[in-house]
A and B are shown apart, each in its own frame.
Chain A
Amino acid sequence: MDPKVVLITGASRGIGRAVAEHFAALGHKIAINYAGNKAAAAEAAAAVQAAGGEALTVAADVGDSDAVAGLFETVGAEMGPVEILVNNAGITRDDLMLRMKVDQWDDVINTNLRSVYLCSKAALRGMLRAKWGRIISVGSVSGLSGNPGQANYAAAKAGIVGFSKSLAKEVGSRGITVNVVAPGFIATDMTAALGEDVTSSAAERIALGRLGTPQEVASAVGYLASDTASYITGQTIVVDGGLAL
């Protein structure tokens, strides 16, 4: 595949960073979006360069429409139109429904779902012009199976699935595919925050008997972006080691 411009939201850490490194190793140009952790973004950029890719870091709250406009302007000016978009930015604000504040709901919906709408829309123009594009969003098994304490997160992640199916139908005739990768328990800062008890009891429910790595999610994202996956659209690939079986 020719070198492409790849924008990954929330790419300073965890799965996003692993995706950035995966595409960097293929020689692509990588735009690393991050919310606020400049040091982590710089580390991710250094890793991308070490892996053989060009790197650009852009701070932007992807739940905010002005910030997203600015993000795409910067990437467009520095690297060119986005050809592969990976909607990865995500947060959790877990709580039982009866205790969940409206802010916890809104923050999660904005960062995890509104961002997917804003970024995909911004990327589409260039993709329609090129008659080629890949939009891959990171969902979650929470959005497919549900998870107590995560009504907000599960709603956002399930929303991504419906969004992607609809958009896949809208733009499929123009060579653009839209898919979802739904990870299960992956060893990142987000799952580390749950504590060892939760992660070790989760591992017992996983067919493969262990948490996944960010790289194992990144390789599924990479597959969907590749020419090998050119006839796959509107799909959700579950990468959970057999958790949701």
Chain B
Amino acid sequence: MERSEIETKMVDLLVEELGIEREKIAMGSKFEEDLEVDSLGVVELLMALEDNFDVNIPDEEAENISTVSEAVDIVAAKVNG
């Protein structure tokens, strides 16, 4: 899967699942600081990613995700790995 495709889907999920304004989202955005997603929100996003991309993101890997780009990296590695 193309990285751009994952990025697009990621932004859609942030808008749909967490109610973030689309204009605020950049690849470098930090979930907690820039997008005001609380820690539980990050967990919910990961669950949505697992459902949408049919991947499994273990807790140990999830702990290292702080930006949108890092979340895309993990999904890309799982989908294309």
Contact = CB atoms under 8 A, between A and B. Distances in A.
B21 interface: no
Contacts of B40: 128, 170-171, 173-174
A129 interface: yes
Nearest to A125: B47
Interface residues of B, number: 5
Interface string A169-184: 0110110000000000
B4 to A, nearest CB: 27
Nearest to B38: A173
Interface string A138-172: 00000000000000000000000000000000110
Contacts of B54: none
- Classify the interface of chain B: helix, strand, loop or mixed: helix
Contacts of B16: none
A210 B40 CA distance: 45
B44 interface: yes
Contacts of A128: 40, 43-44, 47
A102 B54 CA distance: 44
A173 B38 CA distance: 11
B3 to A, nearest CB: 27
12 contacts: A125-B47, A128-B40, A128-B43, A128-B44, A128-B47, A129-B47, A170-B40, A171-B40, A173-B38, A173-B40, A174-B40, A174-B44
Interface of A: 125, 128-129, 170-171, 173-174
Q: A-B pairs with the 5 shortest C-beta distances?
A: A128-B44, A125-B47, A170-B40, A128-B47, A129-B47
Given A129-B47, A171-B40, 10 more contacts: A125-B47, A128-B40, A128-B43, A128-B44, A128-B47, A170-B40, A173-B38, A173-B40, A174-B40, A174-B44
